[in-house]
């Protein structure tokens, strides 16, 4: 089957679905120029997650951790939503997609116009105090690192989820609720290895729903997917958007 046939199959699944959601990972932003974590050229090939993305790493060297987040913020600030983000937003606007559950912290779904975005791993443009309840939105990468809390002068940390930390409770509950309602989940650009987020498509399947898996490589869902599209996400959604006259 070529890409056209696969996208036609996806359209049929969308037509027979009453409640479609999307589950996205770093691969959806790859074509926007944001590096993924795993796979060829992935961040974890060059960087050690234990030194950059754990609470212990931050306690040990907050400057090092902030340097890395600052660099990622600079990359993300230059990135623009690609056809995958844009068509997902249009599908939501048309009422076809009800929610996007994302593991990404880059905010590109919102910049593409998506409204119901559930961020399981936080957002790189937010920071919070390591001591008090202060939270803030960052307009640009902080100049002085680590930035200090204006209320108690302790260091602020990126408001993202690090290894060994629980997911934000509200986001996780919302994601579980969406997954229990969905009869179709479009999984885009995720390896599906980081728990508990990786359970979301499995929960949909468990409730009798279908999985469409879009990835340039096989991933953890390929074997249980009802449709696997081994193509770049941008290309799949561009084709879909054109066929449905969304772009
Ligand atoms: P990964 O980096 O683990 O996986 C990215 C996936 O995207 C891989 O399976 C690639 O094959 C695929 N991919 C790459 N380019 C693509 C493209 N153009 N179109 C479609 N697919 C493409 O990213 P995540 O699964 O999001 O967590 O990683 C999950 C979590 O691990 C992240 O949220 C982060 C990370 O450590 C934390 O930091 C807590």
pLDDT in tens, 152-177: 999 999 999 999 999 999 999 999 99
Q: What is the average pLDDT across 190-204?
A: 98
pTM over 0.75? The answer is yes
Residues catalogued as catalytic: 121
Asked whether 201 and 211 are in contact (CB, 8 A), the reply is: yes
Question: Which domains are assigned to the chain?
Answer: 1-34+81-121+167-247 (3.40.50.1220), 35-78+124-160 (3.30.1600.10)
pLDDT of res. 1: 74
> What is the percent of the chain where pLDDT is above 70?
100
Q: Which residue has the tokens 């939503």?
A: 81
Nearest to 135 by CA among 158, 165, 106, 105: 158
| Per-residue model confidence as pLDDT tens digits over 9-56 | 999 999 999 999 999 999 999 999 999 999 888 999 999 999 999 999
Nearest CA to ligand 1 atom 33: 103
CA distance 159 to 163: 13
Nearest CA to ligand 1 atom 15: 27
Q: What is the average pLDDT across 56-84?
A: 97
Mutate-to-test residue for ligand 1 from 25, 101, 109, highest number of ligand atoms within 8 A of CB: 25
């Amino acid at each position: 089957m070529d890409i056209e046939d696969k996208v036609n199959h996806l359209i049929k699944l969308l037509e027979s679905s009453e409640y479609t959601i999307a589950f996205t990972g770093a691969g959806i932003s790859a074509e926007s120029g944001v590096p993924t974590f795993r796979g060829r050229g992935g961040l974890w090939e060059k960087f050690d997650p234990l030194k950059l993305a754990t609470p212990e790493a931050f306690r040990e060297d907050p400057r090092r951790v902030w340097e890395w987040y600052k660099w990622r913020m600079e990359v993300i600030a230059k990135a623009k939503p690609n056809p995958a983000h844009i068509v997902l937003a249009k599908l939501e606007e048309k009422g076809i997609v009800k929610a996007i559950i994302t593991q990404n912290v880059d905010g590109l779904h919102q910049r593409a116009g998506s409204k119901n975005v559930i961020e399981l791993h936080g957002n790189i443009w937010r920071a919070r105090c390591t001591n008090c309840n202060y939270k803030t939105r960052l307009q640009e990468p902080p100049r002085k690192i680590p930035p200090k809390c204006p209320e108690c002068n302790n260091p602020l940390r990126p408001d993202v989820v690090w290894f060994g930390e629980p997911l934000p409770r509200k986001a996780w509950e919302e994601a579980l609720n969406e997954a229990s309602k969905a009869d179709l989940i479009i999984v885009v650009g995720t390896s599906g290895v980081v728990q508990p987020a990786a359970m979301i498509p499995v929960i949909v399947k468990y409730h009798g729903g279908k999985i469409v898996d879009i990835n340039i490589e096989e991933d953890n869902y390929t074997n249980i997917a009802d449709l696997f599209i081994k193509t770049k996400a941008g290309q799949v959604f561009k084709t879909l958007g054109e066929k449905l006259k969304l772009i």
